Amino acid sequence: MSDSDRWDAVDAGLVVRFRSAGAKIAWREAPRGAKRTEKRRARVAHLHDEEARVEVTGEGRKARIAVDSGPLGALVLLLEIDRRGPGFVLGASEAGREPGFPSGAIVVAWGGASVPRDSVPTLSDLIELARYSLA
């Protein structure tokens, strides 16, 4: 992992902007669709004119978060990385491969939880994508 792919190497001013945008996210329950369980929760994040489905599976040290692949989804993942800390892996799935994500998903996981490997985004990729949600 290069220095540009470490959360603690991200510009402090940008982190403040991400956190500020995160405080403005409105949340609602996701429409029924993919099967939900106690261990799998689905919500929709809304910021400006964008929405992103967010599914959390597991909790604590073994958690997996999948989001719609777009700027708001990337922002949500960055905020979770900020909150939960290091020890994460990133992955992404192509359109339709992840239930509930017809346009594809970006996934972050901690504690050995699995992530898709259709592509492997870096933290730098998430940061660049999330910048678009700051407008």
pLDDT tens by residue, 53-111: 999 998 878 899 999 999 999 999 999 999 998 889 999 999 988 888 999 999 999 99
pLDDT tens by residue, 21-57: 999 999 999 987 655 555 779 999 999 999 999 999 9
Please report the pLDDT score of residue 104 as a whole number: 94
- Burial letters 114-131, b for 16+ CB under 10 A, else e: ebbeeeebebebbbebbe
Q: List, edge to edge, every strand of the sheet that includes 26-29.
A: 26-29, 40-47, 50-59, 62-68, 105-110, 88-93
Reduced to 3 states (helix: H, G, I; strand: E, B; else coil), residue 86 is coil
Please report the pLDDT score of residue 31 as a whole number: 83
Q: Please give the torsion angle defined by the CA atoms of residues 69, 18, 48 and 53, in that order, rounded to the nearest 10 degrees.
A: 30
Confidence (pTM): 0.90
Domain positions in the chain: 3-134
Confidence class for position 6, pLDDT limits 50, 70, 90: confident
Please report the pLDDT score of residue 37 as a whole number: 54
Average pLDDT over every residue of 116-135: 93
- The answer for residues whose C-beta is within 8 angstroms of residue 122's C-beta and 6 or more apart is 4, 5, 90
